[in-house]
A and B are shown apart, each in its own frame.
Chain A
């Protein structure tokens, strides 16, 4: 039996799932084309590995959405909302790994002063420098990620989906690596052996930075840190508004918020709950975002000492 998502995000979620299937299709074709013309170029090999790894956030997103729909069970009484947080951590690790791998490979190429050989190939009876085939494959590998990444970003914001957001960042890493590869192969053709490694080094810093930021947010989420802004380490503005409202509503109570996947959980300790609490009415932000507040729980004043607070 499956549990529906909030009505406000159902359509966006279906669209995101569709986009992810498109991503798998396009990326599979890119990985095949790049594999065929890869040769011994460092830039090409790195771009290919990066393309393969870039499928991780896409796949974990699809798996997480499938789990999120499941009803709570006796063994998982709180449901599967947190699978989303785990998926986010996996995606963040994948993005960081791509950045680190790219940095390591390119720095090693520079240190070893490896001169990549790109020989000519016979095509339709003509000798053609393989570098041109590589450039064509790399340019092909740039187009789908630019489009898919741009389509995913607004959806990630509306769905408050860190996995989708990381996936969009991965797509950005894809096209940036592709362009670095083009610069690298043309640089090789012009006789600059270091061109591809130098371009890849610069870009790897940007990817690594995105990956480490994602790791920090994912870790904060898993250790019940305060909700973070999508793609940033600062506190989520919507959560700050909610916190302020709850503090006004329950003076003397201690308000704590945490994030479980895309949802917010609020706890007020040292205060008695009202009767008939309406979570949607409590939401201080835009009404179409009120689905984010999934739970409000109370710790009555006489029980507060047992929660282990200092």
Chain B
């Protein structure tokens, strides 16, 4: 029992800065001062503005420079899943099948699409909970911004 306070202290110290990322995405972004972003090439100028505003926010919050590339949704999301990209931003159907393979963050906005409304949102690699927490915060703030 005499070890209990030491154990609790160690646990609390270890819990500081939780959650952390299994693949250390946030640590790498902060250390290398760069993060890779895939922008899904679809949607009008309103979507583009929302995407860029969000990426700028993330850059400010991490003090890192975004390395942006544009492409089609499918290959970008597959690369995100493999950990070759840190972030993908674009328009998603509300019931996108990608929602299980990657983590969709709170929507940045909504717009009318051909098959109904689509949400403009960012996606991150599953399980990178520290990185996801930061993106969550910035996505909410970006959505609330005028």
Contact = CB atoms under 8 A, between A and B. Distances in A.
A binds B: yes
Interface string B99-119: 000010000000000000000
A25 interface: no
Contact of B103 (A114, A117, A192): A117
Q: Interface on chain A toward B: helix, strand, loop, or mixed SS?
A: loop
B22 A193 contact: yes
Interface residues of A, number: 18
Given A127-B133, A127-B137, A118 B19 contact: yes
Nearest to B130: A191
A117 B104 CA distance: 10
Interface stretch (B62-70, B90-98, B121-129): B121-129
Contacts of A116: 126-127
A38 B93 CA distance: 25
A146 B74 CA distance: 49
A191 B21 contact: yes
Contact of B22 (A127, A129, A131, A192): A192
Interface stretch (A27-35, A172-180, A182-190, A262-270): A182-190
Interface string A115-157: 1111110100001010100000000000000000000000000
B142 to A, nearest CB: 14
B133 A190 contact: no
A191 B103 CA distance: 16
B126 A119 contact: no
Contact of B128 (A115, A122, A129, A190): A115
B14 interface: yes
Given A186-B15, A190-B20, A117 B133 contact: no
B8 interface: no
Contact of A189 (B15, B24, B132): B15
Contacts of A114: 126-127
Residue of B14, B15, B21, B137 with most chain A CB atoms under a 10 A cut-off: B15
Contacts of B126: 114-117
Nearest to B137: A127
Contacts of B136: 119-120, 127
B86 to A, nearest CB: 15
A117 B20 contact: no
Contacts of B127: 114-117, 188, 193
Nearest to A116: B127
Contacts of B22: 115, 191-193
5 contacts: A114-B127, A190-B18, A190-B19, A191-B20, A191-B24
Interface of B: 11, 14-15, 18-22, 24, 103, 125-130, 132-133, 136-137, 140
Interface of A: 114-120, 122, 127, 129, 131, 186, 188-193
